[in-house]
Structure 1
Amino acid sequence: MSAQSRSSRPLTIGIDVGGTSIRASVVDVDGQVLDSTQAPTPQSSRALENGIDRAVRELASRHDIAAVGLAVAGFINSDRTVVRFAPHLPWVNRPVAREMTERLGIPVILEHDANAAAWAEHRFGAAAGGGNVVMIAIGTGIGAALLIDGKLYRGSYGIAPELGHLQVVPDGRQCACGKRGCWERYCSGTALVDTAIELLAANPRGSTVLAREAFLDPGSLTGRRIANAAQDGDLVAIETMSEFARWLGIGLALVSDVYDPDRMVIAGGVATSSALFLDTAREHYAAQITGAGHRPLARIRGTQLGEAAGMIGAAELARVEVGAARA
């Protein structure tokens, strides 16, 4: 390929900077991952930046790279240059974009990981063709992203939308954010475990596998283990997934009453078990939404790009940034 062709179709790197690993991928203009590398996440700022540097230089040794996008689970300022706070990373009020741009010699942009994933699904995946899109990323908690008229909405200070901390149960379960009854306390991987424990306490003989495992090792219960038990026919696990689906539908109806989206995408680790809950959640959503039966419903879909969405979205946003700078 000629130099002119490469410059008109630049490759960019998207990096998912997670609490346990740094995952980096080279992505082309069609959202295709061409090359990848991965390493454990260091615990200090300097070591983390060194790790990102190594990942970029490794991939840049094999590809002509125009820019880098970093997808971070944390609070990022409105111009996407500073990581204000990230609960699982050492950065606090760190001008990461400027420092890494100077270090690497190519543009580096920051984005919230849920925003990056939503952008990827909008451009290349489950939300393609949507104008107003909500992404709900369900893992340990709930991450969320919002596109209005095809543009990411970040709020006045770069924080929006924290949908996982909408209060759905007054004086409900305690949340790590300091409030009680947040949506993610009833609709997340952590919530699955809490619900299963409550159901087992109320009916310890209603389950064979989960009850035995919880008795022998309470820490063995995880969202994935509960989903697997539900697939195997465990009654408490099935009821737990049913409660999860109900709360997902209730929350999606609440979100729809505020934003009236045409697409909603369910992503995150729990989404891998969507066959167990998504159809039931759609039913609860359709019944709970204001004006049920008299208004169009959003299309609710599972992620199409999976765990690569954050990297693909960060890379594409970096490409957009470079294109705007060149224009």
Structure 2
Amino acid sequence: MTSTLSIGVDIGGTKVAGGVLDEHGSILARARRHTPHRSTSPAVVEDTLVEVIDDLRHQLGADAERVVAVGIGAAGFVSADRATVLFAPHLSWRNEPLRDRLSDRVNLPIFVDNDANAAAWAEWRFGSGIGESHLMMVNLGTGIGGAIVRDGQIDRGRFGIAGEFGHMKVVPGGHRCECGNRGCWEQYASGNALVREARGLIAARSPVASDLIARLEGDENNLTGPLITEAAQQGDQACIELLGEIGTWLGRGLANLAAALDPGRFVIGGGVSAAGELLLGPARETFKRDLTGRGYRPEPDIVVASFRNDAGVIGAADLARVDAGVPVD
């Protein structure tokens, strides 16, 4: 019997990444486009998705007939029936019937989900979450995304939008969040938080930031999360401290999630997770200190994700395959 293929497309704030996935979780072909600006019409974003899908099918040639479904992972709220993007902050989608619009154009079954759900599914199926019955994924990027996989099923909540961990309030009256509230977790444990704190050191002309300032080569626009992480990995003490602070806030939030939902494993993904133990070491220390019932209860693992930039593509494609009726091994 010929094995099936599926296509996954991950829509981020800056790029639309697509891939063709086989039944073992391997990406066989890739395509990429820039994400249209949020002010553009939904039709322009839809056109970009179709371009990526068509590109991938063209790369496959005759094997395109083996593609059984297309999965779309989007950063935003997706309806419980996986058909409509209720709200996507980086795009112009508001109650956008994406599944039906794309189905009419690509003539394949379409599955739509939140990008963090897709990433968590990828880790549970093929990565750092294999074998865990109660998995929680926390993605540290520009903000914080999250997802829950319980007993082989994504727990999406009553209305389909569970997992918005980044908007738990951790500091009453704290930093203003893009969601409109103050003190959200993602304002303290995310890529944006890391860069904001580094900017504070630089603005104060702190002597501990002298090495970091030198790395900017006179242009503060060069300050990014990856640059801070690279500096920390090369021994810059200020950057190590900055990542430690992010890790401390991460551990505090994970302890709250453990108290509420009691997972067996936390998988930490997203761009900030590239810092590895510089981030996870402080997170584990804080988690152990803040965990309710510490010393008298089992503790979940806290591990780094196996897939970073590819997680959304892998998860969206595999979820689409499952939704199309192809059984999970």
- TM more than 0.5: yes
Which residue of the partner structure matches residue 262 of structure 1?
264
Contact kept? 1:266, 1:303, Cα under 8 Å: yes
Of 27, 34, 46 in structure 2, the residue corresponding to residue 33 of structure 1 is 27
* TM-score (norm: length of structure 1): 0.92
Q: Assess, with a 3 A threshold, how the Cα gap between structure 1 residues 284 and 96 changes in structure 2: closer, same or farther.
A: same
Q: Assess, with a 3 A threshold, how the Cα gap between structure 1 residues 203 and 59 changes in structure 2: closer, same or farther.
A: closer
Which residue of the partner structure matches residue 170 of structure 1?
172
* TM-score (norm: length of structure 2): 0.91
Q: Assess, with a 3 A threshold, how the Cα gap between structure 1 residues 213 and 37 changes in structure 2: closer, same or farther.
A: closer
Of 143, 146, 161 in structure 2, the residue corresponding to residue 144 of structure 1 is 146
Contact kept? 1:45, 1:91, Cα under 8 Å: yes
> RMSD between aligned alpha carbons?
2.0
Of 191, 194, 215 in structure 2, the residue corresponding to residue 192 of structure 1 is 194
Of 46, 49, 52 in structure 1, the residue corresponding to residue 49 of structure 2 is 52
Residue 45 (structure 1) shift: 2.0
Contact kept? 1:18, 1:73, Cα under 8 Å: yes
Query: What SS is found at the alignment partner of 2:208?
Result: coil
Q: Assess, with a 3 A threshold, how the Cα gap between structure 1 residues 206 and 21 changes in structure 2: closer, same or farther.
A: closer
Residue deviations 1:282-322 (CA, integer Å, cap 9, x gap)? 12111210011111111111111221111111111111111
Tell me, yes or no, if structure 1 residue 15 matches structure 2 residue 13. no
Residue 24 (structure 1) shift: 1.1
Contact kept? 2:273, 2:279, Cα under 8 Å: no
Query: What SS is found at the alignment partner of 1:87?
Result: coil
Residue deviations 1:189-229 (CA, integer Å, cap 9, x gap)? 11112223444566712231234567944443222222222
Query: What SS is found at the alignment partner of 1:305?
Result: coil
Residue deviations 1:241-297 (CA, integer Å, cap 9, x gap)? 111111111111111111100011000011111232212211211121001111111
Q: Which amino acid aligns with 1:146?
A: I
Tell me, yes or no, if structure 1 residue 86 matches structure 2 residue 88. yes
Q: Which amino acid aligns with 2:9?
A: I
Which residue of the partner structure matches residue 121 of structure 1?
123
Give the Cα–Cα distance (whole angstroms) in 1 for the partners of residues 150 and 157 of structure 2: 11
Give the Cα–Cα distance (whole angstroms) in 2 for the partners of residues 173 and 82 of structure 1: 31
Residue 18 (structure 1) shift: 2.0
Give the Cα–Cα distance (whole angstroms) in 2 for the partners of residues 293 and 40 of structure 1: 49
Residue deviations 1:62-112 (CA, integer Å, cap 9, x gap)? 232111000111111110101111111222211110111122111001010
Contact kept? 1:267, 1:303, Cα under 8 Å: yes
Contact kept? 2:11, 2:74, Cα under 8 Å: yes
Contact kept? 1:208, 1:234, Cα under 8 Å: no
Which residue of the partner structure matches residue 107 of structure 2?
105
Contact kept? 1:132, 1:146, Cα under 8 Å: yes
Q: Assess, with a 3 A threshold, how the Cα gap between structure 1 residues 79 and 287 changes in structure 2: closer, same or farther.
A: same
Residue deviations 1:41-68 (CA, integer Å, cap 9, x gap)? 2343222222222222232232321110
Give the Cα–Cα distance (whole angstroms) in 2 for the partners of residues 248 and 93 of structure 1: 32
Q: Which amino acid aligns with 1:118?
A: A
Between 40-49 and 74-83, report the one with greater CA deviation: 40-49
Which residue of the partner structure matches residue 179 of structure 1?
181
Give the Cα–Cα distance (whole angstroms) in 2 for the partners of residues 91 and 253 of structure 1: 34
Give the Cα–Cα distance (whole angstroms) in 2 for the partners of residues 115 and 91 of structure 1: 19
Which residue of the partner structure matches residue 240 of structure 1?
242
Between 230-239 and 212-221, report the one with greater CA deviation: 212-221
Give the Cα–Cα distance (whole angstroms) in 2 for the partners of residues 65 and 83 of structure 1: 24
Q: Assess, with a 3 A threshold, how the Cα gap between structure 1 residues 51 and 197 changes in structure 2: closer, same or farther.
A: closer
Give the Cα–Cα distance (whole angstroms) in 2 for the partners of residues 25 and 171 of structure 1: 42
Residue 35 (structure 1) shift: 1.1
Give the Cα–Cα distance (whole angstroms) in 2 for the partners of residues 90 and 202 of structure 1: 38
Residue 20 (structure 1) shift: 2.0
Give the Cα–Cα distance (whole angstroms) in 1 for the partners of residues 35 and 219 of structure 2: 29
Query: What SS is found at the alignment partner of 2:309?
Result: helix
Contact kept? 2:140, 2:268, Cα under 8 Å: yes
Give the Cα–Cα distance (whole angstroms) in 1 for the partners of residues 256 and 201 of structure 2: 26
Give the Cα–Cα distance (whole angstroms) in 1 for the partners of residues 16 and 234 of structure 2: 34
Which residue of the partner structure matches residue 251 of structure 1?
253
Query: What SS is found at the alignment partner of 1:300?
Result: strand
Give the Cα–Cα distance (whole angstroms) in 2 for the partners of residues 84 and 33 of structure 1: 29
Of 295, 298, 307 in structure 2, the residue corresponding to residue 296 of structure 1 is 298
Give the Cα–Cα distance (whole angstroms) in 2 for the partners of residues 120 and 34 of structure 1: 16
Give the Cα–Cα distance (whole angstroms) in 1 for the partners of residues 199 and 30 of structure 2: 39
Contact kept? 1:205, 1:211, Cα under 8 Å: no
Contact kept? 1:200, 1:206, Cα under 8 Å: no
Unpaired runs of 5+ residues, structure 2, are: none
Which residue of the partner structure matches residue 230 of structure 1?
232
- The aligned length equals 319
